[in-house]
């Protein structure tokens, strides 16, 4: 039975993976061939370098920052838990996040006794652009990162979906990005969400927090396959593949939005490879029948958004399956 404290995510359930899984935001063009090849070649017989020296240097070159600013994490959720604990250790108790956002922000803050606070007075603030679940640019992000920084505490910018942005660009200058923690999880963009690996870029002059996060980290947060994924991510082959995949995703997204509109659904705007929609009739009573038909959507009630679903963009064959299954899924 699902409890209030149990995290809710898309993806496989107790029955395994749905053949047409719209519930996650992974790149449906994946897996990225060069990243997959790197995983297949990974040497799982040995521990990685516990300091991840070469990996941190490669990630730093990729982003044009000092290697000392790279913090390796087992996953985005692991980093969310670790930096929340670090802020709590420093006496932090006020947290701010967008009204609709990834549930692990709130869940972890609640576990550490944080209370909601205004953005300007929060000890910990969460941002996400493109946002989740909407896939939209976050309102007010530029104002939060303007100098002097109005936030008194730690601000984390979740960039899980930045590589999958299909329109526009992140509206922050390099100086603005240097004032926040940038959290990156490339497994979605590479179509390899089963490999858990992430990293953060620390703000400038965040040495004390970097050290605290290091003390809180487990030994070897990444295994050999996580190292292989993040190393491949920075390579030219993976980046070229990603750029080409975005063109395909844009075409699929137009087709999928048109399909939803033809079903009578109301689609919300999005700049990413996923979007929210309000079906013509409630989704929940049809969820079981859709799952039996191999269709899985993401109910957005856990995001505080009732009566909507979130759909990752999938190929035309999966869209056709949804088109057939929705009218037939009688409660």
Its pTM stands at 0.94
For residue 99 the two structure tokens come to 């009204």
Q: Which residues contact 218 (CB under 8 A, 6 or more apart)?
A: 74
Dist. CA 136–CA 139, nearest whole Å? 9
pLDDT the model gives residue 71: 98
pLDDT the model gives residue 324: 97
- Structure-derived torsion over alpha carbons of residues 184, 187, 188, 191, reported in degrees to the nearest 10: 160
pLDDT the model gives residue 274: 98
Dist. CA 125–CA 15, nearest whole Å? 36
Q: How many CA atoms lie within 13 A of 102 on its CB side?
A: 26
Query: Which mean pLDDT values do the consecutive 10-residue runs of the chain (331 residues) have?
Result: 48 86 96 98 97 98 98 98 98 95 94 94 94 93 72 90 97 92 98 97 96 97 98 98 98 98 98 98 94 95 91 98 94 72
Residues β-bridged to residue 296: 21
Dist. CA 60–CA 97, nearest whole Å? 28
pLDDT the model gives residue 3: 33
Which pairing describes strands 154-158 and 124-128: parallel, antiparallel, or unpaired? parallel
Dist. CA 32–CA 163, nearest whole Å? 13
- The per-residue pLDDT for range 252-310, each reduced to its tens digit, is 999 999 999 999 999 999 999 999 999 999 999 999 999 999 999 999 988 889 999 99
Q: What is the mean pLDDT of the chain?
A: 93
Q: Considering only CA atoms, which of 289, 318, 292 is closest in space to residue 15?
A: 292
pLDDT the model gives residue 1: 24
Q: Which residues contact 309 (CB under 8 A, 6 or more apart)?
A: 22, 276, 277, 278, 279, 283, 297, 298, 299, 300
Q: Are 102 and 298 in contact (CB under 8 A)?
A: no
Dist. CA 75–CA 208, nearest whole Å? 22
pLDDT the model gives residue 308: 96
pLDDT the model gives residue 142: 86
3-class SS string, 13-45: ECCECCCEECCCCCCCCCCCHHHHHHHHHCCCC
């Amino acid at each position: 039975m699902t409890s209030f404290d149990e995290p809710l995510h898309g993806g496989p359930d107790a029955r395994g993976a749905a053949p047409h899984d719209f519930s996650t935001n992974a790149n449906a063009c994946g897996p990225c061939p060069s990243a997959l090849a790197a995983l297949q070649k990974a040497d799982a017989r040995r521990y990685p370098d516990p300091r991840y020296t070469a990996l941190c240097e490669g990630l730093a070159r990729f982003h044009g920052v000092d290697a000392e600013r790279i913090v390796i994490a087992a996953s985005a959720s692991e980093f969310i838990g670790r930096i929340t604990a670090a802020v709590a250790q420093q006496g932090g108790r006020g947290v701010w996040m967008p009204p609709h956002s990834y549930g692990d922000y709130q869940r972890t803050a609640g576990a550490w006794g944080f209370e909601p606070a205004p953005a300007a007075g929060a000890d910990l603030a969460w941002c996400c652009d493109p946002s989740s679940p909407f896939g939209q640019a976050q309102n007010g992000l530029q104002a939060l990162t303007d100098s002097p920084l109005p936030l008194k505490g730690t601000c984390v910018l979740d960039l899980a979906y930045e590589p999958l942005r299909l329109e526009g660009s992140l509206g922050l200058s390099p100086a603005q990005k240097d004032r926040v923690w940038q959290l990156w999880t490339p497994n979605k963009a590479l179509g390899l969400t089963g490999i858990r690996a992430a990293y953060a870029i620390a703000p400038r002059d965040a040495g004390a927090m970097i050290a605290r996060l290091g003390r809180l980290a487990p030994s070897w947060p990444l295994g050999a396959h996580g190292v292989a994924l993040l190393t491949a991510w920075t390579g030219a082959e993976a980046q070229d593949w990603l750029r080409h995949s975005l063109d395909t995703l844009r075409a699929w997204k137009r087709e999928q939005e048109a399909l939803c509109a033809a079903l009578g659904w109301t689609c919300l705007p999005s700049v990413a490879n996923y979007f929210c929609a309000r079906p013509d009739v409630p989704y929940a009573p049809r969820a079981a029948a859709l799952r039996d038909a191999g269709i899985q959507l993401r109910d957005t009630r856990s995001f505080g958004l009732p009566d909507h679903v979130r759909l990752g963009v999938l190929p035309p064959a999966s869209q056709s399956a949804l088109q057939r299954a929705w009218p037939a899924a009688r409660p």
